[in-house]
Amino acid sequence: MSATTLLLQLIVILGTARVCGWVLRHLGQPGVVGEMAAGLMLGPAVMGALFPSLHGQIFAKESLGGLSALATVGLVLFMFVVGLELRASQGVKAQLKSAGWVGIASVIAPLGLGLAIAPALHPSLAPTGVGFWPFALFIAAALSITAFPVMARILKDRGLTRTPFGQLSLGAAAVVDVFAWVLLAFVVALAGAGEGYLGLLRTGGGAVALFAFLFLGLKPAYAWLLRTRAPDGEPSTTVLASLMIGLLVSALLTEWLHLHAVFGAFLFGACLPRDDRLLRSLQERIEPLSIVLLMPLFFALAGLGTTASAFSGAGIGALLLIVAVASIGKLAGGAIGARLAGYGWRDSLATGALMNARGLMELIVIKIGLDVGLIGPELFTMLLVMALATTAMTGPLINLVMGRKARAAEAARVES
């Protein structure tokens, strides 16, 4: 692959992502919805169908190696920051029990519905050689995901972050994502362990050993390093380099364990000391590179993995089923969980709507499934559209449930 081809790909991808993000933001959607839509537009279902010759020249399969490598680096950096941000604020801590109720209900409902529809999807959509249970568990995990970063952005844009149901939803999303990522790690290990239960045992044992090393060994070591070398929360170039090396080693180890590099990146971020100054400093240094430059490449690669056949024949019915089941599971699970925690119907329905936002986290999950061979391009396309649809409907549903006056009054009450 030539440098000219790579630079052309970068220009097309970043330009399309910025335009789509700008348009969707002006329509009241999070920018990530536009960037995800840009990836879908650059794939074979849209650009490949409208301009097949041009699409083949720019995104020839043999030219995607460099793009894939850059996207992987961006994904590792992004998941590192997500792990770093994984903490409970004081408002969330006060509602820990309630968040647990909502989180559990928001997992059980889509999990059960995912397992229920898996028998209908497996015969026609599972790749050859993929057994029913790895396939079914992956579908269940994919439907259970909630996008914490997207939810936080929606709440912030509407001035609802500090409201009771906003804090409740953020806490519940953390519960959901921890469970879903653990389940996904198990499914990926099950699919990637080529030596049956012995391979699965080795993968699981290695993952547990890595977890113990990071949190029992590396965490106190980094706490000492940051306390002595970065007391003001501003890591020096040497400290930052050590963090990046540790991040890459952790990502490499989980990849070697037949998991995915994102698990190692997430765990490494989660094991670092909880320091707001350090978090802000790392965000300022990493996010412009990962979110603005590298993550759109991940969206584009995801779009290139789609297929137009998902939108024809029986694929339409399967797509509608997946979107309906995913939405009902999250809306009902979140609302019922909030009601069980003692919230009124309005706040409960708003919580259910927020739990339905999947966004980038869903895209990461289904791309992992595609990479390890648990799903094929057709089901991947359907799940990508589901992620777009459920994320896009979150804002309008919040507006519908809360009402403009109620949202303004609630935000004003919190500010007072």
Residue ranges of alpha helices (H) inside 42-95 are 47-50, 52-58, 65-84, 90-93
Three-class SS of residue 273?
A: coil
- Give residue 99's pLDDT: 83
Q: Look at residue 282 in the predicted model and tell me its pLDDT.
A: 86
| Residue whose C-alpha is closest to residue 36's, from 324, 385, 367 | 385
pLDDT of residue 404: 62
Mean pLDDT of 73-80: 89
How high does pLDDT run on average in the chain?
A: 85
386-411: average pLDDT: 77
Please tell me the predicted confidence (pLDDT) of residue 154. 78
Please state the three-class secondary structure of 15-54 as a single string. HHHHHHHHHHHHCCCCHHHHHHHHHHHCCCCCHHHHCHHH
Task: Report d(CA 103, CA 235) in Å as an integer.
Answer: 35
List, for residues 247-265, the tens digit of each pLDDT value.
999 999 988 887 778 888 9
Whether residue 363 contacts residue 311, with contact meaning beta carbons closer than 8 Å, is answered with no
Nearest of 358, 352, 359 to residue 397 by alpha carbon: 352
Domains of the chain plus CATH, in order, are 3-415 (1.20.1530.20)
How high is the pLDDT of residue 416?
46
CA distance linking residue 358 with residue 326, whole number of Å: 10
What predicted TM-score, i.e. pTM, was given to this entire model? 0.81
Distance CA 407, CA 157 (A): 12
pLDDT given for residue 405 in this prediction:
47
What is the reported pLDDT for 268? 92
> Higher pLDDT residue, 364 or 386?
386
Bigger pLDDT: 223 or 152?
Answer: 223
